[in-house]
Amino acid sequence: MLTSSFIFLPGVGPATERRWWDEGLLDWNMFLNQSSVPGVSAGRKHWYDSELRTARDLLDNGHFHSVATQLPRCEHWRLYETCRSRTGFLDIETTGSSPGPGDVTVVGLHRNGTTVSLVQDESLTSEHLQMELDQCDLLVTFFGSVFDVPYLRTTFPALRFPPLHFDLCFSARRLAMRGGLKHIERELGINRQANISHLDGSDAVRLWLEWRRGDAMARETLLTYNRADTENLVALAGRLYEDMISRFGPSPLSPPLQSAYSR
């Protein structure tokens, strides 16, 4: 989807991008292969060609960040396939209090099929969390741009996050899905273990407090709950990414170039 994106070009917005897609310019190469584009002056076409060749060379050499970061944050979902091997799925649990020292209880991070659970007073340190985040180009969360990331920034002020963020909550809203993570999971048929399917964020706070009072079973339940929150983001991201392409990406039914430019 990144190579079908034109909105990083100067003066190109969603309407122009959509018009080009509808006329058959589905990716950078198709644009470059045209000697002219209706509505684009020769000078501007030359300028855009230069920008696209530079972007293509950067992408071919693995240096896509300079292109990717020019996309609006709400369009970072377009990078999901490009960044798949270096995507980190993140979810946190807290004490339920306002963010402050000691209020993050568990951080779940999933990448390339492996989940790491960082636990307060055990493995959750700024250094350990930074080491995990440094392995990610794209962060995937559910409402994390509003909750998880600001909470972690307050708790660990020196923490550096990946510059690219696919927040599934806002993609779901654009697709007219309402409700929280668990509701959308159920709507899409993404399941959880029966023993944690009824739990929510308030239960995570309760489990933490019970664990601190010595209930070892509460610890295991809390970690299982957080792992589900984190790992289910993988299935949800895949579904939403495909739906976003279908709804907001180029149409596979766009007319062939020869008919689009024979007018």
Quote the pLDDT of residue 97. 75
Residues in Cβ contact with 39 at an 8 Å cutoff, skipping those fewer than 6 apart: 19
Residues in Cβ contact with 116 at an 8 Å cutoff, skipping those fewer than 6 apart: 108, 109, 110, 132
Instruction: Tell me the residue type at 15.
Output: A
Q: How far apart are CA 255 and CA 77, in angstroms?
A: 26
How, if at all, do strands 138-141 and 164-167 pair? parallel
Average per-residue pLDDT for the chain: 92
User: 187: pLDDT confidence band, cut at 50, 70 and 90?
Assistant: very high
DSSP secondary structure letter of residue 254: P
Q: How many residues does the chain have?
A: 263
pTM for the full predicted model: 0.91
Q: Which domains does the chain have, with CATH numbers?
A: 2-71 (no CATH), 84-246 (3.30.420.10)
Tokens of 175: 């697709």
Q: Is the distance from CB of 163 to CB of 193 less than 8 angstroms?
A: no
> pLDDT for 156-184, tens place per residue?
999 999 999 999 999 999 999 999 999 99
Q: How far apart are CA 103 and CA 16, in angstroms?
A: 46
Report the pLDDT averaged over residues 108-115.
97
Report the pLDDT averaged over residues 92-96.
92
For the chain, percent of residues with pLDDT exceeding 90: 87
> pLDDT for 54-70, tens place per residue?
999 999 988 888 889 89
Q: Is the distance from CB of 103 to CB of 97 less than 8 angstroms?
A: yes
Q: Is the distance from CB of 144 to CB of 167 less than 8 angstroms?
A: yes
**Largest Cα span, the chain:** 76
Helix, strand, coil percentages for the chain (3-state, nearest 5): 50, 10, 40
φ, ψ dihedrals at 10, nearest 5°: -60, 130
User: 263: pLDDT confidence band, cut at 50, 70 and 90?
Assistant: very low
Quote the pLDDT of residue 248. 95
Q: How far apart are CA 109 and CA 91, in angstroms?
A: 7
> pLDDT for 67-87, tens place per residue?
898 999 999 999 999 999 999
> pLDDT for 222-239, tens place per residue?
999 999 999 999 999 999
